[in-house]
Amino acid sequence: MTAAADNHGTSETGPLGAVEWVFLGFLLVIWPGISWLWFPSGEAALVALSARSRISVYLQSIAITASVFLLLAIILQFQWHKFMELGYRHFTLANAAFGFLLAAVVAVVLWVSAAIMPSLRPGPGDFVRLLFPRTSGERLLWLGLSLTAAIGEETLFRGFLLTRCRQVCGHWVPAVVVSSCGFGLAHLYQGVAGVLLTGLCGILFSLMFIKRRSLWPCFVGHFLQDASAFFMPIFPFGT
């Protein structure tokens, strides 16, 4: 069947194959399970980080995301035009600018959400806060982690999951809901608050992807959002 691009820049390729269905299940079920089992939360976080350094956690996170991205590349048979169909097209300054705008909107939404619901704010002993870089070496590696997460997660959850869900459902709304829930659950190690906020971010990233017909604004916005921890002041635990 000849692929035909729809009016949102994605490609209609007919019914999903068995391998694509399995990969959808992996993103929605297996990855959240890995996230929950691999990264402890709550009081266990302090113990975990005393046994393995933040750098080790960064490297493991990069390895997991890169491995899943490689798995998708294998499914796509390393064909560049298939990545273009996922949203790699339209690498322009305008899309880069929309990426900066997206990062700003996400930051405001997260700040407002935390202001309205204080329970969403990470505490001094929160696992995510404990992961923030503190040394120059950690900050440099954090930028690599942010880049890996931006390209890997946006390709997987917006480029693949969102478009395939839309292909199955026939509409963008349920596709946005399902893919954003999957994106949130993939961050189970951040706790319930992290899942909710990440899912909310997933909705914003999805809307930008649909609006711009490209992953590039999502790459830029996601990278800037994650990399912002590079500039965050780190306070002593318990203060």
> Would you say residue 204 lies in a domain?
yes
Domain count, the chain: 1
In the chain the first and final C-alpha atoms are separated, in Å, by 61
Question: Judging by beta carbons within 10 Å of its beta carbon (0-12, 13-18, 19+), is residue 69 exposed, middle or buried?
Answer: middle
Residue 202: C-alpha distances to residues 8, 46, 137, 153 (Å): 18, 28, 29, 10
Each residue of 41-69: pLDDT tens digit? Answer: 555 555 555 445 788 888 989 999 999 99
> Would you say residue 10 lies in a domain?
no
pLDDT at position 17 is 87
Each residue of 189-202: pLDDT tens digit? Answer: 787 888 899 999 99
> Would you say residue 4 lies in a domain?
no
Tell me what the pLDDT averaged over the chain comes to.
Answer: 83
* pLDDT > 80? residue 119: no
Each residue of 86-106: pLDDT tens digit? Answer: 999 989 999 999 999 999 999
> Would you say residue 49 lies in a domain?
yes
If pLDDT is split at 50, 70 and 90, which confidence band does 115 have? confident
Both structure tokens of 131: 């992961």
> Would you say residue 6 lies in a domain?
no
* pLDDT > 70? residue 1: no
> Would you say residue 193 lies in a domain?
yes
Amino acid at 186: A
**Could you list the residue range(s) of the whole structural domain that residue 156 is in?**
17-231
Residue 91 dihedral angles phi and psi, to the nearest 5°: -85, 95
> Would you say residue 199 lies in a domain?
yes
Non-local (6+) Cβ contacts of 7 within 8 A are none
- Compute the average pLDDT of residues 193-216: 94
> Would you say residue 238 lies in a domain?
no
